[in-house]
């Protein structure tokens, strides 16, 4: 019944708008019979063009001031992060300049050359010099961006295996993450989803016969020692997922049937990041919002929201089904000692099996 009523209300609103437009439409009869723009229309819309240019500038300024404070964007936590951020900043500034100038020219010309009866436009069909200029300028600018971008990209994607990186497997399934460490030998044992044996708690399908697999460690939280290069090997057991670690400027899809990889070096521990002034501000702001929200929830008789504390996160960023919006894993970057201590508490694979 409510459904029917709601549809009726929506239909009535639509009809009301329709009728109002109709009244407006009918009210104009006699004022101007021509549906082709007159000088009056040209003038009015010419001024509106300037108004719209102002609107574009205002929404840009508002967005930069209100939303442009992006601690995530300026405080990267990986070794390659600053390089990415730098390239991003250069691209952004460039875009901003081009945007400001071209939007100005477009809307200003539209205003300046608004039509008048009896005026004649300039017959100006071609100019090779002008066209050459605005072909060659983008060529030069883009050449610079492409070269910078490609160097950055190959830096990021080529993980130097000589650095003895910590090898960690990220394992994705609907809808959670697991991490697998190579243990003392830092070598991951062979695995395939066909070997999964839920009854024996072999949830990632490790090859029980593989000696390398015996000391592997499977966890639900991702701990990383600061300053050591990590090489992630990604696997998925069911559908595509994407391991997105925005704070580290890192992302790679997890593809069933193949192993993908991404490497980076975390440079800031979770504890240090929590002390970062930008982050303190952001967290305080978020907690204010959460307190406000909690008041409303409590009034409705629901539970209040928990206090938020900063943590690095791994998010799923490839549509993977119903609970895609809640597929996450906490990442903790800590000192080597803290990491070693944590690792000691974890169970090795051979000890975690149920016989």
Partner 1 sequence: MSAHADTHDHEAHEEHHHKETFVTKYIFSQDHKMIAKQYLVTGTIMGVIGVIMSLMFRMQIAWPEEPNVIFEALLGKWAPGGVMDADIYLALVTIHGTIMVFFVLTAGLSGTFSNLLIPLQIGARDMASGFLNMVSYWLFFISCVIMLGSIFVEAGPAAAGWTIYPPLSALPMAQGGSGMGMTLWLVSMAIFIASSLLGSLNYIVTVINLRTKGMSMTRLPLTIWAFFITAVIGVVSFPVLLSAALLLIMDRSFGTSFFLSDIFIQGEVLHYQGGSPVLFEHLFWFLGHPEVYIVILPAMGLVSEIMATNSRKPIFGYRAMIASILAIAFLSTIVWGHHMFISGMNPFLGSVFTFTTLLIAIPSAVKAFNWITTIWKGNIQMNPAMLFSIGFVSTFITGGLTGIILGDSALDINVHDTYFVIAHFHLVMGISALYGMFAGIYHWYPKMFGRMLNKNLGYIHFWITAICAYGVFFPMHFIGMAGLPRRYYTNSNFPLFDDLANTNVIITIFALIGGAVQLIYLYNFFSSMFFGKKAEKNPWRATTLEWTTEVKHVHGNWIGDIPHVYRWSYDYSKPGHDVDFIPQNVPLKEGEEELQH
The CA distance from 39 to 16, in Å, is 32
275 forms part of the interface with partner 1 (CB under 8 A): no
Applying CB under 8 A, which part among 164-172, 218-226, 267-275, 309-317 lies near partner 1? Answer: 309-317
25 forms part of the interface with partner 1 (CB under 8 A): yes
The CA distance from 52 to 49, in Å, is 5
Residue closer to partner 1, measured from CB, 139 or 184: 139
60 forms part of the interface with partner 1 (CB under 8 A): yes
Among 50, 79, 82, 205, binds partner 1 (CB under 8 A): 205
Question: Mask: binding to partner 1, 120-159, rule CB under 8 A, as x and -?
Answer: xxxxxxxx--xx--xx--xx--x--xx--xx-xxx-xxx-
30 forms part of the interface with partner 1 (CB under 8 A): no
54 forms part of the interface with partner 1 (CB under 8 A): no
Q: Which of residues 64-93 bind partner 1 (CB under 8 A)?
A: 66-68, 70, 72-73, 83-84, 87-88, 91-92
The CA distance from 265 to 224, in Å, is 9
Q: Which of residues 212-241 bind partner 1 (CB under 8 A)?
A: 234, 237-240
355 forms part of the interface with partner 1 (CB under 8 A): no
Neighbour tally for 226: CB within 10 Å: 19
Ramachandran class of 186: left when φ > 0, alpha when ψ lies in -120 to 50, beta otherwise: left
Which among 260, 262, 228, 266 has a CA at the least distance from the CA of 247? 266
Q: Which helix (H) or strand (E) holds 307?
A: none
298 forms part of the interface with partner 1 (CB under 8 A): no
204: CB partners within 8 A, 6+ apart:
169, 171, 178, 180, 191, 196, 218, 235
285 forms part of the interface with partner 1 (CB under 8 A): yes
Query: What are 262's strand-pairing partners?
Result: 232
């Amino acid at each position: 019944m409510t459904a029917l009523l709601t549809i009726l209300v929506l239909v009535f609103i639509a009809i009301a708008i329709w009728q109002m437009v109709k009244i407006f439409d009918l009210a104009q009869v006699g004022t101007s019979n021509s549906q082709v723009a007159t000088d009056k229309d040209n003038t009015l819309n010419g001024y509106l063009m300037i108004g719209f240019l102002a609107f574009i500038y205002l929404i840009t300024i508002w967005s930069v001031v209100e939303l442009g404070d992006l601690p995530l964007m300026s405080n990267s936590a990986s070794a390659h992060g600053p390089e990415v951020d730098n390239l991003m900043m250069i691209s952004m500034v460039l875009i901003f300049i081009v945007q400001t100038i071209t939007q100005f020219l477009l809307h200003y010309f539209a205003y300046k050359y608004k039509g008048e009866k009896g005026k004649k436009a300039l017959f100006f069909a071609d100019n090779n010099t002008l066209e050459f200029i605005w072909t060659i300028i983008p060529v030069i600018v883009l050449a610079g961006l492409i070269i910078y971008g490609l160097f950055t990209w190959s830096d990021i994607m080529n993980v130097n295996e000589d650095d003895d990186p910590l090898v960690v497997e990220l394992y994705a399934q609907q809808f959670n993450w697991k991490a697998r460490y190579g243990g003392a030998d830092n070598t991951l044992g062979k695995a395939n989803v066909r070997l999964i044996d839920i009854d024996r708690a072999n949830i990632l399908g490790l090859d029980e016969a593989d000696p390398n697999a015996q000391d592997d460690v499977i966890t639900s939280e991702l701990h990383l020692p600061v300053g050591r290069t990590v090489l992630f090997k990604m696997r998925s057991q069911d559908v595509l997922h994407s391991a997105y670690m925005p704070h580290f400027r890192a992302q790679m899809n997890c593809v069933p049937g193949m192993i993908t990889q991404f490497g980076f070096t975390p440079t800031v521990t979770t504890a240090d990041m929590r002390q970062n002034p930008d982050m303190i501000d952001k967290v305080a702001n978020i907690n204010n919002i959460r307190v406000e929200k909690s008041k409303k929830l409590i009034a409705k008789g629901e539970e209040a929201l928990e206090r938020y504390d900063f943590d690095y996160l791994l998010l799923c960023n490839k549509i993977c089904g119903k609970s895609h919006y809640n597929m996450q894993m906490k990442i903790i970057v800590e000192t080597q000692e803290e990491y070693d201590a944590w690792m000691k508490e974890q169970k090795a694979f051979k000890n975690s099996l149920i016989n």
